[in-house]
Each structure stands twice: as C-alpha cells, then as structure tokens.
Structure 1
Amino acid sequence: MKPGYYLLFLVLILTLGCNQQSYNKTASGIKTTIDSTVVEIQFFTPGIVRVIKSLPGETVEKKSLSVIKEAEKVSFKVSESDNIISLVSDVLTVKVNSKTGTVSYLSASGDALLSEKAGSVAFIPFNDAGNETYSVKQSFSLNPDEAIYGLGILQNGKMSQRNQQVHMVQNNTWDFSTFFQSVKGYGVFWDNYSPTDFTDNEAGTEFASVVGDCIDYYFMYGKNADGVVAEMRNLTGKVPMFPLWTYGFWQSRERYKTQDETVGVVEKYRELGIPLDGIIQDWQYWGDNYHWNGMSFLNPGFPEPQKFVDDVHQLNAHLIISIWSSFGPETPQYRELDEKGMLMNFQTWPQSGKEGWPPDMNYPSGVRVYDPFNPEARDIYWKYLNEGLFSLGIDGWWMDSTEPDHLDFKPEDFDNKTYLGSFRKVRNAFPLETVKGVYEHQREVSSDKRVFILTRSGFAGQQRYGSNVWSGDLYSSWDALRNQIPAGLNFTLTGNPNFNSDIGGFFAGAYNKSWNDGTAASNPLFQELYVRWLQYGVFTPMMRSHGTDLKREIYYFGKQGEPIYDAIASAINLRYSLLPYIYTTSWNVTNNNSSFMRALVMDFPTDKSVWNMNNEYMFGQSLLVAPVLNAQYTPEKILKGDEMSGWNKGSAKTKEGYPLIDFTEVKSSAVYLPAGTAWYDFWTNEKFDGGQVISKETTINTTPVPVYVKAGAILPIGPKVQYATEKTWDSLEIRIYEGADGEFILYEDENDNYNYEKGVYSTISFNWNNADKTLTIGKRNGEFPGMLAERNFNIVLASKNKAKGNEIASQPDKIVTYSGEEIVVKF
C-alpha cells in the first residue's frame, strides 16, 4: 500500500473508531462529554443508576449526606448504535443520546419508564457566599396520566403530586425530600440539599436547585411501590426498630409546668384504667429563654430530676423530653460552641428573652442555632445531652425545630458558614444531620435502649436514624385533619415510614371556646374534631395527643358513660388490642422494607380508582382504614393561620353557645373498597366484594372508624392492658378472614434493646389454606430471653355472629396449645 493511501486508511479507521465509541467505559458505567456537558452513568445495583452531569474542566468531588450505599459490582453491557449508547443490566436498560445528551430508562422487557427532556439541563453561574458555583436544573418527560408520589410531608391535600410547583425549603409544617416515585414502578432521588423548586406541568417535570456543583440524581426501578421504597432504603439506609412501648398511647401538652403535674397525668390515667405508655415533657424545664435548651432542670418546678424520671418509670410509663437545635446565651453549650465558631446567626425561636407574645425585642433572647454538619459540634451536643438528661434514664428525645425555625428571613442568612459550606448549600439536610448526631452517639454508648426520636422535620435518609417525624404545629381544623392522610402517605412513599401528627391540631384557634362547665375541651365542636383525629391516630405509627390552648387529657372530655369520653377510651383500647399486629408490622418495615401507612396504590396498582385517593389507606398489609374526615354532628370551623398568629392567643377563650349535640345519632360515610379482593367490616364481619363504593353506618363511638379487613388476612388481637408490656401474649386471639389464602408471621423479641440485630427474636408463621379450611401454625424460628415456651392461641373464623370489634371473642372456634412445633388445625 502506498504511503498516501496508508495514511488515508489510518484516518478512516480512527474516524470510524471515534464514531463507534464516543464514550469511556468505567468500572460501573460510562463517562462521556456531550454538547459541552460531562455525563457519567454509574450502576449502583442492577436496578439503581446514578447520573452525574458537570461542565468540562470542573472537578466534582461530592460526598452524599443521604446516600450511604457503596456501588456494587454490577454486570452490565455497553453498546452504541445510531447515536444511542445503551447500558444494559439484568434489570434496566439505560440509553444515552450521544447527540443531545438525553438519558432514558427502560425495563429489562423494554417498557419505557422515564426519559430526560431534551435540552433541559442547565448550569447557571451563581455566587454562593463567595464561592463561584452554579444553580442547576434538569427536567423529565412523564406520561400525561402518570401518577407520582413523594416529595415529603406536604400540606396540600394532594395524593398524586402532578401539576403543581413546590418550593422546597424545610419549615414548620412542610418537610421535603427531593424524591418522587411513579405508578410505573420507578423512583428518582435528586441528591441536592439547597433550596429546590419541583415543578410539574405540560413543559415537563423538573428539579431546580439554587446551589449545585453538579447535577446528581439516582434513578431506581423497583417494579412496584414497595420495590421502589426498598431500593430507596437500600440506597439511603434501613429502618431500625423502635421499642414496643413506642406503639402505645402518648399524652402530651404544651406544656406541663412542674414535674408533679407531669407525673400526675400518668397517675390519673392509671387511676382511670386508661392505657398509656408515654408522657412528654415539653420546653422550659430548663427555666428561662436565656438558658434555652440547656439540657438541665433549672426550672424551680422540677427540683428533683432523678425522682421525676423514676416516678414516671415506677408507673410503668416512659418519658421523652424536648430538646432543640439551638441554645440560649447563658448555657454552657452556647459558650463552647460559640468559642469554636459553631453557631449560626439568624433569627430563630424564641426571639425574646421574655415569655409571652408578641416578643419584646428590647430583650432579645440571643438564642442561636448550632451547626450539626460539624462532627465536633455534634459531639459537643451529645456530651451535654448525655450528662444532663440521658444519664437520668430519659427514654427518648423530642427534637423540636429541626428545620430549624428561621424567623424574619433575610436572603443573606443563607450565607452563614457551616462545616460543609454555606447554609444555603446544605439547608434542607439540616434535620438529617441533627438527628444523626443524637442517634449515632446514643448507639455508641448503649445497646440496651433503642433510640427513639420524635422530630419535626425530615429529609431523605433520615429513616436510618431512629426518628419518627411529626407534621408540625398545625391549626385545629377539619382541613388540617384531611391533609394529614396524603401528607403521611406521600412521606411514607419517600422511604420514611414513621409519621405522626399532633392529634387534634396544635393551635386550637377558633375551637378555643369554653362550653357549659367552662372547659374549652368540652366544646362539642372541638370534641368531634379531636375524637375523629384520635381515631385516625390509632392507625398511624405513633399515636400521640398534643397541642396548646386546650388540654387534651381524656378526663377533660367528660367521664365514663358519656359518648366522647367513651369514644376516646375505645380508640386507645383499640390501639392496644392491635399491638401484636403493629409490632409485627414494625419488624416487616425493618426486615422486609414494608411500610405502616400504605397508599392504596401500593397494594392495588391496577385499580386506577385509587391512584389519586387521598382519604383512605392500608395500615399494614391487612387493614383498610377510611377515617371520618368531615364534621357530622357540628359545623366545621374554617380557620387558616401560621405559627406567628397561632402564638398570638389574645383573648380567644370566650363562651360561645351552640345547640346541644346528640353524639349517639347514627351517621354514615362513603367508603371505596379496592378491586381484586373481598373485604370484611372489622366491626360487624359483614363481607363485601371489592371494586365498589359502599355506605358505612358510623357513630362517634360504637362503630367509629370504617375499617375493613382483606380476605385471607390473619389478624392477631392482643390482651386488654394498661401499658404495652403489662401482659404476655400467651392467649392471643387469631382472627382468620376467609375467602383467600393468607399468611401472617408473628414477630416477638425482648421489646427493647438491639439484640434483634444479632438474631435474638422469634417468628411463628400462620398459613391459611382457604380451599381446605386449614390453618397451619408453623414451627417457631429463633428464640430470645423471656420467650413463652408454651401458650394458647384462640382461633376465630370471622363471621357475623362473632363480631365484637376490638373485643376478645369469648367463644373461639378452636383453642390450641402451642409449644413451638408445627400444628395443623382443620375447620
């Protein structure tokens, strides 16, 4: 070959080579530059893909705060054809358009899942407190009728989060996770912690963040909602178990002002025979605002802290206590953190050193928020918490204001420096890091007491830190109650299963009117709202009564034999009867990535009637809950407000007359029963086919909440108790709902400590064969100290003549003695 032809041949070969491979293959995917954007695709698992986009010449070194998983070694193939680079694993096909840079995702069978919107990548120069960086955004194209869920705790009443814009900056009543999942079985986690706008409209579905050195998101394909939740937890952390006692009833108030008052509430519940497992001590036990969050009992109303804790424990109850993310200037924590430059400087709660509202700014409190992104600051926080409170035997933490409270906002407040850069850069991850500090430190010093944190804000990954997030300082209104169902369900669908709300709403507002006997809690308008909220609370991961303005303890609502008192007692007792079911569900959450509160789309994805249903849900795998969410006996009070107006109580307590209300009247609610299964009325055992709307008669008490049990369900009912561990489960009632095969695996352990992580627990399987009418109780697996070696199971086939709601059936169909070996029970 002549030299000229040889040179031409080499150029042709090199050109063809470049056309054939416009990317570099890496150990986990590919890296390529397209249209002035560096695009990197990384397989974390066969079903999880990370996408990083940056500008040429930029060095991207990012350590995620949410993602803790290391990329697995994934087998995948790469090919290129017609400007499309394809990466194929056993679960996913990822296609990158080498002309436009658009990334799209398909299932292994070729079904289109999601695609980026062409030309939607944006890097906009941004000066972040002196650091030259970018604002970033990315849009996706969804099908017009595609339902999506997640984004956090949103007080918008919506189930599917299509066709809206959400400005994501953590606040008191809206908690954000930059994650959504689709009814098509995939999820997207936008790994950014700065203020972010989520927008969904005809132009696309977009995340846009104020600060980002790069675009960084994860696509995961779980095939269904449970699978997506599992993938999100695989990526950001599993859920540790809470102690059994956390699933009992909790009483709280803003606030108990002395230790005698707090202990007295527990004593009164014991005297009345009303079950109670926990009492919460809210703020100001530390004294004044200058000693804010001092983590010590300086208030004269708490002269004997150790006796305080011991008195609660001797009543077989547990105590959790309020701690904050900020400190007053007279506390040693403040001084130590301030000396090390670990305090931020913006207006937070409380603003005034004097109590009362409005704040007297002539006496500024000087309270400042600490930097939880700094590991040394987290060490200091725990040092004082351990010495001042944990050493007394406090059982758990009420971590308030973990957004944190940010009052009188100024844009330059975001310029505050944290250990990881500007406050702006990491703003939304503040609750994640705050809770992390307490969880990790307590785990280091104790394995005998499981960490339990009740907190007011959450972010992606927080489920791994033993936290239950409540929905903030809500106003008492029926609208607020209605909003809690989709708020909790969407939060659950981000992978965070632990959600609760202030039962009755925090600010009583227009309901703060005295009635007849002079107590505001006897106002029938509030009574109806409170009871319906409480009945909904039975079917949430934490059942907790709390609020200001009105006292919520049962004895302020009348006495035994009166409808409202009896309704409250009935709801609390129902909760305790379900503890074996709830605790087993807790194990399924930890061990099998399940969820407590389940949007109906999770279990019935082919029934399009439930895709946007915001007023019903499954609690665990078996119970369909349709709370009464509208006033039936009294007029609704429509009230909108915020935290500032809520504290401005003024002269709200005035008498207001209404006609006498007959709470014994029978009302009705419409309930949709999802298609694909039959359903039993929990209260009557009447059987219904799915796929229809029925009318359910209700009262305030005797059949209070429409609850339906799925055919094939096996439901354990626990004994009547005053606290969760008062009695062993040696004579459980096992209810079987015929009509389909079913399985239930009863989980038991020591009820607290972390020995379950070492396999110290037992499981007993119950399998129902509907065709043979046979129940097989399997061989017990595992053991633990204190385990029942022998017990009875009272087997009940659900039928109308045995319907007793939450009471133990007096005439079981079979009583079997179980010693750990398999038993077959034939009906």
Structure 2
Amino acid sequence: MNKFMLLKFKNIICFTLLIGLFSFQKPTGKNYEKLKDGVLVNLSTKSAGAPRAVKVRVVADNIIHVSATPEENFDQEPSLMVLENKGAAPKWQLQEKGKTLVLSTNKLRAEVSAETGAVTFYDKNGKKLLQENNQGQKVFVPVKLDNSQSYQLHQGFNVAADEAFYGLGQHQAGLMNYRDWQVDLTQYNSVAVVPFLVSSKNYGILWDNYSITKFGDVRPYRQLSALKLYGKDQQPSGLTATYAFDLNTGKAPIVRQEQEISYEFLEDQTEYPAGYKLEGGLMTWEGFLESDASGVHRFEMPSSGYVKVWIDGKLLLDRWREAWNPGLSVFKHELKKGQKHAFKLEWNPDGNVSYLALRYLPPIPAADLNKIAFSSEAGDILNYYFVHGQNMDEVISGYRQLTGKAQVMPKWAMGFWQSRERYKTQQELLDVVKEFRKRKIGLDNIVQDWSYWKEDQWGSQEFDETRFPDPKGMIKEVHDQNAHFMISTWPKFYEGIEAYKAFDEKGLLYKTSIKEQIRDWIGQGYVSTFYDAFNPEGRKLFWKLLDEKLYHLDIDAWWQDASEPDILSNASIPHRKALMNPTYLGPATKYFNAYVLQHNKGIYEGQRSSNPKDRVFILTRSAFGGLQRYGAATWSGDIAATFEEMGRQIPAGLNFSLSGLPYWTTDIGGFFVENKYDRGPMTPAAQEEWRELNTRWYQYGTFTPLYRSHGQFPFREVFNIAPEDHKAYQSIVYYNKLRYRLMPYIYSLTGKVYHENGTIMRPLVMDFSADKNVQNIGDQFLFGPSLLVNPVYEKGATKRNLYLPANTGWYNLYDGTYQQGGRQISADAPYERMPLFVKEGSILPFGPEIQYTTEKPAETIMLYVYGGKDAQFELYEDENTNYNYEQGKFSTIPITYNEATKTLTVGKRQGEFNGMLKNRTFHVVFVQPGKSKAMDFDAKPDATIVYNGEAKSVKLK
C-alpha cells in the first residue's frame, strides 16, 4: 500500500469513527432551566393532553409549588387564593441524577422526571409521601369557553394503602374520611368548597383552581340504566315506578317502567308523568338491580322530602330534607356480578316542587385502589401546592402561609349569638335582648336576618321605616345593653331599584336572570340579579352602599347570605353558570367557585379602609381557599331540623376545620322544620321531641368555634323552646353559663389561631394520628387542646358509645373520674348532659360567671389542673375588638405543670396592651388519677396564686 492509499484509508476510518461518535454520543443539551426558586422542565410532548412544560418551585422549606402547561410558554395569572410570597427565600439545592431532577430543602425533597415531568415527594428522611401518576389519563383536554380556549384538567396521584383524606371544605354527606369516595367541589347552599386536601400522612394539597372540581374517585357517576334493571315482576324492562296521588284525589296511581331516577334540578320538574302532582303524593321504585361487576358499589343521591332506600332488604338511607333545598347523601352496597339484588326506593316529596336523583359508581378497578385524583372543568394551567408537616397543625399552618392568616375574632363574637328567621320588627328584636338580660342568660350578639327592607326593595340596604322606625336608635339600645348587632346583606338587587341602577349603569351586574325575567318567591315575585364581585369596581360600589346605608348606623358585623352565588336555587349547573356569565375575569365556568372569596374581600377591605380600628366580622354561607384572611367565618347553610341532620354537621365542621379555616358554626336546632313542628299547635309528643332536639344541638353548639342559634319557626330563643322548670331550658342555660366560664380558655384559642395558625375545633386524627382507630371518627372531637366533645344526636338516647383515644388518660369533666384511653366505652348521656372528657395533662382556666364577654375582667381564674402527665397552657389577652394585636399589643401568660415534681408554675407575663389587667388571683384545683374532683366553681382551692406578672410556682398535693 502506497502512502497515498494509506492516507486515504486513515481518513476513511477517522470519518467513520466521527460519524459513529455523532450518531451514538448522548446529547449534551439540557431540557431544563434552573430558576431562582426552582426548575422549569421542557418536555417533548408525545401524546395529546400531556404537558409541554412543568415548573417546580420551592415556596418554603415544607412547601413545593407544581404547575404545568400544554402551551409553549407559561402565562400564569396571579392567584385569587394564594398570596404573593414575601418571606425570606428558603435554602434549596438542585441535583441532576440521571433522568431525574432533585430539589431538596431541609424538610422536603421533590424529584421531577426530566422525561415526563411527573413529580414525587419525599420527606427529609427519604420516605415517599406522594407520587404523581395519571395512569394514561390526559392531563389537559381542550375546551371552548365562550370565545376563549381553556382546558379540562386531571392530576392523579399514587397514595399509601392505609392513607385517609380530609378537608376540602364543608360537605354534608356524613363522611369524615373521603378515602374511596368522590367529593364534588361545587358551591351550593350547605356545601362550602375549599380545595385544600389533608392526608393522614401529614401532607396537604392546595388545588389552585376555581372551577367545579371532583376529588378522589373522579370517574363520572353512572345513571341506574347502566345496570340491568328488573321490575317487580322480575322482567328486564326497568324498575317498577309507582306514582301514587294524594289520597284525597281518589285517583289511581300511575305505574310505568323506568330506567333512571333523575329529578335533580328545576329543569327536571316537567319530567314527571303527565298530570301528576307532587303535593301529597308518594312515589316508589321497586324491582331488582344486576351489575356486570362484583364488589362495593357506591351510590349518590341528592334528595329532598322524605326518602328511604333498601337493597337486599337492608335500609341504607332514611332521611328528610326540606323540599326547596335538597341535600346530598351517599351510601354503598356490595353487588355480585350477574345476581339480582332486590331494590326499593320510597319518596314522599313533601311539597309541590321537590328533588330526587340516584346515580352509582361501579367497584374501583384494582389498578386504582391506591390512587386519588383531582379533575377540574376549566383552567389555563394545572396548578397545585404540596405542603408537608410533622403533624396536621403544621400542614394547616402551611396552608395559611400560602393563603393568609386568620385574624383574632372580636371577643364578643366568641359569646352566644341569638338569631331567628327573622325579627320582623324593631320592637321584636329589642324585646328579645331585654328578655335575655332579664333572665341573666349570656348573650353577646343579636342578628337581624333578611327582609328588614320594604318588600319590593331587596338590595336597597335600607330598613322599612314602618317596621323599623329608628334603626340607629334600635342599635344604640342593643349596645346600651352590652350586646352587638349583626345584619344580613345579600349581593342581590331587585330590578329597577336605585341600587340596581347604580350598578347597572356601570355594567356591574349579571344580566341573564334579567333577560330571562326570573322571579323569586317574595310576594308577587320580583326579578333580580347579583353584582359581579370579580370586578374591583363592583366590590368597591357594594361596600360604598353598605357604608352609606348601614355601617353609619353602628353595625357591628355582616351576615353575607347566598354567597355561592345562589342567583336561582336548584337551577342546573349549566344554568347556574349562565346566570353569572361572563365574570369580569372571564367565563363563569372557569371562576365558578371563587365568587364568595371576592365578595367578602370587598367588604373586609372596605370596612378596614372606612374604619381601621374595629375588627371586621363576616359570617358567610359559603367558603373558598383564602377566605379566612378576610375576617370571615362560615355557617353550614339552610339545614334540616332533624337528629340525623345534626349528626351530619359534626364531620362537616371537622373537615372544614381541617381545610384551614378555623371559624365555623351551624344553625343550632336546624334551619327548616318538618310540618309537625310548625303547622298549627304541636302535639305534646312533637313538642317534647322538638325540645330534646334543641337541647342536644345546643349542647353540641356550645363547643363549636362560634356559638349561635338560628332557624325558622318555632322561635329559637331558649325561653320560647321550654319553660324554666323544664330540663331542656335548664340544660341549655347550663351550657350557656359553661361557655362563658370557659371564655379565658376560648379567647386564648382565638389568639393561637392568629399567632400560631391554630385550630379550635380539632378532629381526633389531628392529636392522635398514631392511633389508627380515630381515622374514621367524625362524631367526636377536641375543643382546643383539652376538651373531648361527644355530641348526642340520637333521639331518646341516654347513653353514648364513644372512643377514648389511646396513649393518654381521660377525666370526666363533670365528676373528675379518671380512666385510661384506647378503648370504646358507653358513657352516660342523660337528657341534660353531653359526655365531656378532659385529656390527661391539661390545664383548664375558668373565669367568672358573666352575661357577656366583657362584663367583668377575669381578675379571678379557677385553674383546673388535670395531672398524670406534664401540662401547659398559654393565657392570651388583648384589646378585644381592634387590630392592635397585629402591632404586638397583646399579652401571654405561660402556665405549666410538672408531673414529676407536682409543681404548677404561672410564668412571667410577656407583652402588654392598653387596659391590661396587671394583678389577678389564680385558684388552683388539682385533679389526679384516683383522686377525682367534680367541676365546682365554688370549690375550695388546693392552692392560690396571687399574681402580678412575675413567675410564681406552687406544689400541688
């Protein structure tokens, strides 16, 4: 080979090697970009519906923000829920490990697949907490909203087999743990949506989306027609539906075969058989169900009136709900593939318009048993925050770090509120306040509900002078009797009134209901609409109206009704969207759930600008993420006055608390009543049942964050429920006095809400997470750190089965007897008393007997110390009604008990404020295992501490 050929050969080899190098060498370009607070991963989209980019941001040591887009660029609008992070940037690190990007803080680790963008979360020790997994589901599905492009969103997660799920606002199907169920996040009268999920594994997910969302098992519910249905004759032609007329008509029933039960909305009321009238009627569906799958089937039933459901002869549902306001029920039953299961549904509509539907979900596929998901109707990007904590308190604290602190409520708001639907005259309201003072029953707030205006002037925010001739004088008289005055306002305006015109001329009203000329139920019926609270100008004008028409009368607090918004009750979801479309921010579908947040924002900001001194207090009939930062509390809506409905309030309120919103209340006694209570004179039996229901509800309501009675006729004042010598009256007054005695304890809890992101009404899973027995308990809770509350919600019950959590002991509050936890007991529950226990290692401060929260300073406090373990409590005080605590004007007194030395120490006071009590006396009562002492406010103390702000200790025996 000559030199030329040798050189040519070498060149060919080199060229070949170079081609090989370029062909097989891993590309050096990266598909991610490090940001100042996280990482942006650009993905090679392989399928329709997958994200094109995922952004993972470190918000705090324990909070990670994940967002994804199907577009080339992130166009991220400011969140309505989440506040701008103004805190110090946390320290974090980014590492590249193969095809995984790892973001680490000192408390948390997030791993992001550089190929798919899927995120997995771990604690600092490397324990897996949560993993994204959509299992083939599309994350983004394009949807057209009006003239804009948006996406339906889906995000699935793998979870642990023993995990439980809570929060998500207030839902009234009776569930505590949402595991394996679907939760419908749609605002509705008695459903309050807060898209914050809390896991028993001590993490939370804040789903930052405003549209209607499903959580959990998000498969669409199926109509009964998806099952094989048989009639009573076992022929496969559908269920046998019998529409019986009111017996007085003498008409024969209408009988037909039906494949579906679907009378859920106003629009469905025309679907009944021709000529059928609901009033006085009774409907039954009977036959057999056959499924093509074996396993647990879950059923969902929105209903009103009286309804009962049996499958295989087992009664699965028996409830009543007022005809005009259906509520949701869920139940489950195991069906076997190919087997006929006897079915019967009996419905008494109890009105001339009523609502009923029944749907089901087949068994969860094996691949989805350890999976949860969020599925939303609309959003431009997928957006959620992962919050981790050592316990649920830290998780809730993370939620408030993201969405805002909850204020210290004015002290008077923690006392008793009296309300009814409604005080019709000025004198009627004043007479109630006078009667409370005459009887020396505690009262801090009187509430004027709706319709104080002239009949045709809804939205005027003006009193009808014929019934309320001197509103300012009326409120002054309330104040002179050391009570406060709350008033109901709605974001609703009758067509043509002056307030309507002021909003209309600026284009601040939703106009669909005006175009459709929808009339409400008042008098002849009036056409109305709501203002657009998403519009900043609308919020300012609404506050201006309240300020000029009402606030100058010295109103203390605001009741914001129908804030879902409820423009037309029981309209179908598409119709409800049309009624509030478009919003200032965009299509109603995209912003459907967030109206309440914006509406209350305007009132809070408006009052604080008009009067920076006094604390805002708002009670509203809905909720959303971030509502707590606007001085707002939520009540559970227009619920039914039944024992069964009372039982549903307990898990509803507990899950609301776990959603991060600390202030919640329910209508003590229930809002709407059955005919036996308000159609003419009650029978003796009905009257005694009514008294018992109210007694049990008042007992429970004493230990909710806000203590408030409200409802339609019969009147709800204790002296209208029963005479003084009746045990109902005596029990209600007993708990009223106990609530006021506990005011040092209760007001200290409100201080912790603001200063430590605390939670007042505490599901057992918060404090006893290691005890797996508490995961599904939704009818017991802790009120603050020490009091175990066990409401009685069964008619005629004089015993209450309950669970005492493990790894601690429990004292009976009333007699001081002690027993170990970790077991079920049957506790005494006589008519007059609800079982109450105190956790071992507790300090309970009791103040003087008072009739309103500021009647007298707590110069003398009885400290009940419950030994067996170390104990601590921090007594909090401030100026009661202003915002000076935000500038540090408050005091705390640490109180500790050491079990080993039997020493109680009242520590050095920290902080100060105007009017602070500098000297006081603590009378100490020491309760120990085997040495019970009854709760007695006249008891001889075991020790007395005269306190001047410096630390003092005493030995207890």
Q: Comparing 35-44 with 230-239, which one deviates more in the overlay?
A: 35-44
Cα 1:351/1:320, change in 2 over 3 Å: farther
Q: Which residue of 2 aligns with 1:228?
A: 395
Cα deviation for residue 42 of structure 1 reads 0.9
Correspondences of 1:386-465 after superposition (within 5 Å): 386-407=547-568, 408-409=571-572, 411=574, 413-415=576-578, 416-465=581-630
Correspondences of 1:747-766 after superposition (within 5 Å): 747-766=876-895
Note the alpha carbon deviations across 1:722-776, whole angstroms, 9 max, x for none. 1111111001101100101111110111211111111111111111011111111
Q: Which residue of 1 aligns with 2:544?
A: 383
Note the alpha carbon deviations across 1:208-251, whole angstroms, 9 max, x for none. 11111111111111122111100000000111111111011111
Correspondences of 1:289-438 after superposition (within 5 Å): 290-347=456-513, 352=519, 355=522, 360=524, 363=525, 365-407=526-568, 408-409=571-572, 411=574, 413-415=576-578, 416-438=581-603
Letter in 1 for 2:671: F
8 Å CA contact 1:320, 1:396 repeated in 2: yes
User: C-alpha separation between the residues in 1 aligned to 2:841 and 2:791?
Assistant: 23
Cα deviation for residue 14 of structure 1 reads 7.6
User: C-alpha separation between the residues in 2 aligned to 1:680 and 1:43?
Assistant: 45
Q: Comparing 338-347 with 496-505, which one deviates more in the overlay?
A: 338-347
Q: Which residue of 2 aligns with 1:247?
A: 414
Which of the numbers 722, 727, 730 marks the counterpart of 1:558? Answer: 722
Letter in 1 for 2:651: P
Q: Which residue of 1 aligns with 2:677?
A: 512
Q: Which residue of 2 aligns with 1:78?
A: 94
Letter in 2 for 1:105: F
Q: Which residue of 1 aligns with 2:766?
A: 602
Which of the numbers 124, 132, 143 marks the counterpart of 1:108? Answer: 124
Which of the numbers 425, 429, 447 marks the counterpart of 1:280? Answer: 447
Q: Which residue of 1 aligns with 2:826?
A: 695
User: C-alpha separation between the residues in 2 aligned to 1:9 and 1:786?
Assistant: 85
Which of the numbers 15, 22, 26 marks the counterpart of 2:35? Answer: 26
8 Å CA contact 1:520, 1:550 repeated in 2: no
Q: Which residue of 2 aligns with 1:15?
A: 26
**SS, match of residue 853 in structure 2:** coil
1:40 aligns with 2:55: yes
Note the alpha carbon deviations across 1:292-316, whole angstroms, 9 max, x for none. 1211113510011110110110111
User: C-alpha separation between the residues in 2 aligned to 1:521 and 1:88?
Assistant: 66
Q: Which residue of 1 aligns with 2:650?
A: 485
Which of the numbers 436, 461, 476 marks the counterpart of 2:641? Answer: 476
User: C-alpha separation between the residues in 1 aligned to 2:730 and 2:685?
Assistant: 15
Q: Comparing 570-579 with 54-63, which one deviates more in the overlay?
A: 54-63
Q: Which residue of 2 aligns with 1:612?
A: 776
User: C-alpha separation between the residues in 2 aligned to 1:411 and 1:617?
Assistant: 38
Cα 1:164/1:344, change in 2 over 3 Å: same
Cα deviation for residue 594 of structure 1 reads 1.1
Cα deviation for residue 410 of structure 1 reads 6.2
User: C-alpha separation between the residues in 2 aligned to 1:24 and 1:385?
Assistant: 50
**SS, match of residue 748 in structure 1:** strand
8 Å CA contact 1:252, 1:279 repeated in 2: yes
User: C-alpha separation between the residues in 1 aligned to 2:749 and 2:801?
Assistant: 27
User: C-alpha separation between the residues in 2 aligned to 1:28 and 1:58?
Assistant: 18
8 Å CA contact 1:512, 1:520 repeated in 2: no
Cα 1:809/1:375, change in 2 over 3 Å: same
1:163 aligns with 2:328: no
Note the alpha carbon deviations across 1:258-286, whole angstroms, 9 max, x for none. 11100110001111111111110011111
Which of the numbers 63, 67, 90 marks the counterpart of 2:78? Answer: 63
Letter in 2 for 1:417: P
Q: Which residue of 2 aligns with 1:772?
A: 901
Cα deviation for residue 179 of structure 1 reads 1.8
Cα deviation for residue 794 of structure 1 reads 0.8
Q: Which residue of 2 aligns with 1:214?
A: 381
Cα 1:520/1:506, change in 2 over 3 Å: farther
Q: Which residue of 1 aligns with 2:285?
A: none
Which of the numbers 661, 681, 694 marks the counterpart of 1:530? Answer: 694
8 Å CA contact 2:677, 2:686 repeated in 1: no
Cα deviation for residue 670 of structure 1 reads 1.6
Cα deviation for residue 120 of structure 1 reads 3.5
8 Å CA contact 2:889, 2:911 repeated in 1: yes
**SS, match of residue 335 in structure 1:** helix
8 Å CA contact 1:802, 1:809 repeated in 2: no
Letter in 1 for 2:383: D
1:706 aligns with 2:830: no
Q: Which residue of 1 aligns with 2:424?
A: 257
Cα deviation for residue 809 of structure 1 reads 3.4
- Which 5+ residue runs of structure 2 have no aligned equivalent? 1-9, 46-51, 218-363
Cα deviation for residue 80 of structure 1 reads 2.6
8 Å CA contact 1:35, 1:101 repeated in 2: no
Count of residue pairs the alignment pairs up: 781
Cα deviation for residue 43 of structure 1 reads 0.9
Q: Which residue of 2 aligns with 1:185?
A: 202
Q: Which residue of 2 aligns with 1:542?
A: 706
User: C-alpha separation between the residues in 2 aligned to 1:520 and 1:339?
Assistant: 56
| RMSD (CA atoms) | 2.3
User: C-alpha separation between the residues in 1 aligned to 2:541 and 2:84?
Assistant: 28
Which of the numbers 39, 44, 50 marks the counterpart of 2:65? Answer: 50
Q: Comparing 679-688 with 550-559, which one deviates more in the overlay?
A: 550-559
User: C-alpha separation between the residues in 2 aligned to 1:101 and 1:716?
Assistant: 53
User: C-alpha separation between the residues in 2 aligned to 1:671 and 1:591?
Assistant: 33
8 Å CA contact 2:559, 2:620 repeated in 1: yes
User: C-alpha separation between the residues in 2 aligned to 1:679 and 1:511?
Assistant: 41
User: C-alpha separation between the residues in 1 aligned to 2:505 and 2:196?
Assistant: 38
User: C-alpha separation between the residues in 1 aligned to 2:749 and 2:648?
Assistant: 24
Correspondences of 1:673-822 after superposition (within 5 Å): 673-701=804-832, 704-798=833-927, 803-805=933-935, 807-822=936-951
User: C-alpha separation between the residues in 2 aligned to 1:298 and 1:562?
Assistant: 38
8 Å CA contact 1:342, 1:418 repeated in 2: no
TM, length-normalised to structure 2: 0.79
User: C-alpha separation between the residues in 1 aligned to 2:948 and 2:647?
Assistant: 46
**SS, match of residue 134 in structure 1:** strand
User: C-alpha separation between the residues in 2 aligned to 1:406 and 1:330?
Assistant: 17
8 Å CA contact 2:691, 2:722 repeated in 1: no
Correspondences of 1:518-667 after superposition (within 5 Å): 523-632=687-796, 667=798
Taking only the aligned residue pairs, the percentage that are identical comes to 40
User: C-alpha separation between the residues in 2 aligned to 1:714 and 1:59?
Assistant: 53
TM, length-normalised to structure 1: 0.91
8 Å CA contact 1:291, 1:330 repeated in 2: no
User: C-alpha separation between the residues in 2 aligned to 1:600 and 1:394?
Assistant: 38
User: C-alpha separation between the residues in 2 aligned to 1:346 and 1:695?
Assistant: 56
Letter in 2 for 1:411: P
8 Å CA contact 1:743, 1:765 repeated in 2: yes
From the CA coordinates, give the structure whose radius of gyration is larger. Answer: 2
Note the alpha carbon deviations across 1:633-668, whole angstroms, 9 max, x for none. 6xxxxxxxxxxxxxxxxxxxxxxxxxxxxxxxxx22
User: C-alpha separation between the residues in 2 aligned to 1:153 and 1:752?
Assistant: 28
Letter in 1 for 2:502: E
